[in-house]
Amino acid sequence: MFRNLRLIIFIYYLLTVTAFLGVVYFLLSVAQIQNVLLLAVVMICIVALSGVFISKLSIDPLEQYVKNLQNLSKETLHELNLPISTIMTNTHMLKKNLSDEKSLKRITRIESACTMLEQRYNELDYMIKTQSQKSVQEHFDLQELVMQRVDFFHTIYPQTAFALELQSHQIFNDKIGLAKVIDNIIDNGVKYAPNSKKIEIKIYNSTLHIEDYGCGMDEVELLHIFDSYYQSNENMKGFGIGLSMVKRFCDNNNIDLLFKSKPNEGTTVLLNFKEN
């Protein structure tokens, strides 16, 4: 598709330039028009028309391609909803009738996997809404959201202890996007604290504090943490794009983001929710 599109645009551009030079030659040599203002107007009109047609040739196929991709995503998302709900409902029913410890563990693992699949479903739905430029902001309690995310991480990192000091705090923001931000920060806190199994999370004075007791960072590393693909520890899995996404989200949603860190002591991340 794009190869043919490039070829069409190149041919049209070549023909347009040739036609433009031909018109200029005709006006100057054949028609012998000496009016500079008239020549300028004619040339501007030709250039403008060429720009319109080239942009139309370039944008229309891409616009149609994006629309088709969005429609496919929406249809796929809709079809995924039913099997996810079916798995969740039936695992809950099976769990009630099981007493064998091995079977219960297996069902619990299925539930955890399904919860993660449901999370990816919500994220895909969120991405489609943001691409469609629909408002995704809503009123919700930050305390409830943090507790939901901690419950989620308990299933992934059961060995990690979460110390919570939470106050109810109503905010108006992008709930799903903020959940992704919290997930990223907590996940980093666990991964970069291999010798410590504790994460402290607090809410007070309109600020969310997430603190780990891991390897920490020095001042040089703190200057680069928001750079895409930067990783302070190359042995860690991932692509190093998480914190750049966190920073971009906070900048776009009126949230002050601050990192405090010391080597071998840990890192504290503060998200201050300013009044909109």
Tens of pLDDT, residues 108-147? 888 888 877 877 777 677 676 666 655 578 899 999 999 9
Q: Give me the pLDDT at residue 62, please.
A: 73
Interior/surface letters 90-110, b for 16+ CB within 10 angstroms, e for the rest: ebeeeeeeeeeeeeeeebeeb
Amino acid identity of 14? L
pLDDT confidence band for 234 (50 / 70 / 90): very low
DSSP single-letter state for residue 192: T
For residue 97, give Cα distances in angstroms to 104, 112, 179, 229, 257.
Answer: 10, 18, 33, 48, 47
Total length of the chain: 276
pLDDT at 1: 55
Give, as one character, the DSSP assignment of residue 30. Answer: I
Query: For residue 97, is pLDDT > 90?
Result: no
**Mean pLDDT, range 49-53, rounded to an integer:** 74
Please name which of 196, 197, 201, 209 lies closest in space to residue 264, comparing C-alpha atoms.
196
Place of tokens 């907590």: 186
For every residue of 105-172, DSSP letters joined together read HHHHHHHHHHHHHHHHHHHHHHHHHHHTT---EEEEEHHHHHHHHHHHHHHH-TT-EEEEE----EEE
Whether pLDDT at 53 is above 70: yes
pLDDT score of 235: 44
What contacts 207, CB < 8 A, 6 or more positions away?
Answer: 270, 271, 272, 273
The reported pLDDT for the residue numbered 134 is: 56
Structure confidence by residue, pLDDT tens digits, 237-262: 433 456 888 898 899 899 999 999 99
**The two three-digit tokens of residue 190, written as one number:** 């666990």
**pLDDT digits 0-9 by tens, 201-217:** 999 989 999 999 988 88
Q: What is the pLDDT of residues 154-190, one digit of tens each?
A: 877 888 899 999 999 999 999 988 998 998 899 888 8
CA gap 178, 208 in Å, rounded: 11
Mean pLDDT of the chain: 79
Helix (DSSP H) and strand (DSSP E) numbers for the chain = 7, 7
Distance, CA of 169 to CA of 181 (rounded, Å)? 17
Confidence (pTM): 0.58
